[in-house]
Each structure stands twice: as C-alpha cells, then as structure tokens.
Amino acid sequence: MQRMLDDETMSEATLPQDAARKSLATWRSRHHEASEQQPVVVIEPRPETFLARMRALWRYRAFYNFLFKEITMRRARGTLLGFWWLILRPLIPAASLIFAFGAVTQVDTQSKIPYPVFFLSAYIPFHLFQSSMRYLPRSLNWSRTLMRRTYFPRLLVPLAGFGLPLIEAGALSAAFVIVVFLTWWRGQPFPLHLGWQTLLLIPSVLMAMAFALAFGLVFSIVALFFRDVIFSLRFFTMITLLMTPVVYPVTFIPDAYRWVLYVINPMAQVVLVSRWALTGEGVFEPAYALLSCVVVLLALFAGVVFFLRAEVHLGDQM
C-alpha cells in the first residue's frame, strides 16, 4: 500500500515538469519557424568621414572638461601632498640638472646669461614634450572603465592627457620668472631680451605639443597590446634629452652633423627658438625652423590617421 502511494506521489511530481518541457519545446519550434519566415536585418555602423569625426569632437566638448579633470587629478589621488605633488614633480629634476651641469660640471654656455636662465628657457618646452610622452600613451589605459560604459570620441582621451604636462610646464614657468627676477635683484643685467621675437614662443610651444601628440596617439594604441611601450618611453625621452641642446649650447655639435640633428629631432629647433625668443641668445635659422615644422605636421597627420583607423578595434582591448 505504501509503495502505491509513493508511485502516485512521484507521478504527480513529474507532471509539472513534463508540462514545462512540452511548453518549452513548443515555444522553441514556433520561435524557430517565425525566425525562418522573418528576414534577418544586420545593423552596421555608417562609415564616418574625417570631418564628421572632427565635428564629433566639438559636440562632445563639454565631456572633454570632465576627462581633462579626471586624468589630471589621477596622479594626485592617494598622495600625501595632493595637488602640490604635481607642482614639485617637474621642479626636482630641473633643479638636479641645473646643479649637475651648472654648478658641478660648469658647462660653458658661451653667453652672458646665467646657466639657470639658459637652461630653463629651453627646458620648459622640452619638458612639455617629455611629460606628454609619459602621460598620453597611458591615457587610454586610465580611461578603460569609462570607455566600456559610454560612447564618446576616443580621440578626446589623448587630448585630455595634456592636463598634467601643462600644469608642470606652468610650474616651471613660475620658477623661471622667479629665477629671472632673483638674477636681476642681485645686480646682474636683466637676462631676458623681450621683443617681437618673443611671439615665436607660441609656435614653439605648439610644435612641442603637436610632436608629443603625434607620438602619443600611436603609442596609446600600441600600449593596449604591448605594455612594454609604456616602460620604454622613459628611456626614449632620456635619449631625446641628450640629443637636444637643452643642457648644452648648440655650438657643442659640429656644423657637419648639425643639420642631421635638426632633421631627425625637430625638438632641437623647438628649444633653440624658445631660448632665442626669451633671451636673444643663439641664432634663429628660418629654414631649419620651417623644416622642423613640416616634419612635426607630417608626424601629427600620420598619428591622427593611425589613431582613427585603429579606433574601431579598441573594443577588443577594453
């Protein structure tokens, strides 16, 4: 008797399961028939032109402010000094180089201006390039979480990476003004030679930013696949510093090899124009300056084209 009751209980328990299986099978068959009858629509993105992407940058200009603050303050979070660390970061290596080459080595600048003024007048645009080369390739890695959640032109991320370099360049500029007035206060001649040539400082700074952006756009994509690029950029910037007449005058380079330096390294002409625009020291060579400008513009165009073409594959690495 107990066995019969158990069999009836098991059969009643299996009834709902059988009914669920039959209803699921019926739904699958009907869904399969409906899917075979209806046409399949494939939605593909419309190819965007270069001008359309540039207009998208303007439409998302408000979002750029958010990215600018987010990437800029990333390096200050979790530190004891906070924002002041962003100010001290460029001053420490600048003071070390001035002490090493100005006080210990005593490099002959072949000019009447003090070495700190000679050095900082060229180091400010070079440090802008150097700092941008460190931060721009990391900008996409820093914004991975944000890019997974929302859409915006990815080109805004490397452009927002200029926040930290601009802050550091501002700190160096303030230190440069202090050094100039301390030199003048001690009774030495005013070390700056301001005039119409000072306006050339603007294109000099823009060239440094454009050249850094050209490399930053390419390395930011490559760094998503190969992290070694981020670690090797520090050595690249150190080698560039030695190849650029920042800590020494350009007269140290023989005339036979000077044109090679200008062609390979456009930053050499950038720092020379910056030093000449502020102090009047050196010689302004328009032909070499124009050549460096052409090289920078070609590198920037190639970097932008490479980034826009690789932008469609960023989703695989986010």
Higher per-residue pLDDT: 60 or 168: 168
The answer to whether 295 and 139 have CB atoms below 8 angstroms apart is no
**Where does the pLDDT of residue 18 fall: very low under 50, low under 70, confident under 90, or very high at 90 and above?**
low
Residue 132 has pLDDT above 80, yes or no: yes
Residue 33 has pLDDT above 70, yes or no: no
The answer to whether 123 and 172 have CB atoms below 8 angstroms apart is yes
Q: Which residues contact 292 (CB under 8 A, 6 or more apart)?
A: 207, 262, 266, 268, 269, 270
Least confident of 1-15, 150-164, 204-218: 1-15
Asked if residue 42 is part of any domain, the answer here is: no
Question: Angle CA(149)–CA(156)–CA(63) in degrees, nearest 5?
Answer: 65
Phi, psi of 193 (to 5 degrees): -125, 85
Asked if residue 40 is part of any domain, the answer here is: no
Asked if residue 165 is part of any domain, the answer here is: yes
How far, in Å, CA of 177 to CA of 45, rounded? 52
Phi, psi of 50 (to 5 degrees): -65, -40
Asked if residue 300 is part of any domain, the answer here is: yes
pLDDT (average), residues 214-227? 83
Asked if residue 28 is part of any domain, the answer here is: no
Collapsing DSSP states into helix, strand and coil, what is residue 53?
helix
Residue 276 has pLDDT above 50, yes or no: yes
pLDDT (average), residues 252-278? 82
Asked if residue 34 is part of any domain, the answer here is: no
pLDDT value at residue 231: 78
Least confident of 47-61, 164-178, 272-286, 287-301: 47-61
Least confident of 208-212, 258-262, 278-282: 258-262
Asked if residue 2 is part of any domain, the answer here is: no
Domains in the chain: how many in total?
Answer: 1
Residue 15 has pLDDT above 60, yes or no: no
Residue 142 has pLDDT above 50, yes or no: yes
Q: Which residues contact 1 (CB under 8 A, 6 or more apart)?
A: none
Higher per-residue pLDDT: 277 or 75: 277
Higher per-residue pLDDT: 60 or 252: 252
How far, in Å, CA of 153 to CA of 160, rounded? 12
pLDDT (average), residues 267-275? 90
**Where does the pLDDT of residue 154 fall: very low under 50, low under 70, confident under 90, or very high at 90 and above?**
confident
Domain that holds residue 66: 48-316
pLDDT (average), residues 30-54? 56
What confidence tens digit (pLDDT) does each residue in 72-112 have? 666 666 666 666 777 888 888 888 888 888 888 888 877 78
Higher per-residue pLDDT: 213 or 35: 213
Asked if residue 112 is part of any domain, the answer here is: yes
pLDDT (average), residues 120-144? 84
How far, in Å, CA of 144 to CA of 313, rounded? 14
Residue 4 has pLDDT above 50, yes or no: no
Per-chain mean pLDDT for the chain: 77
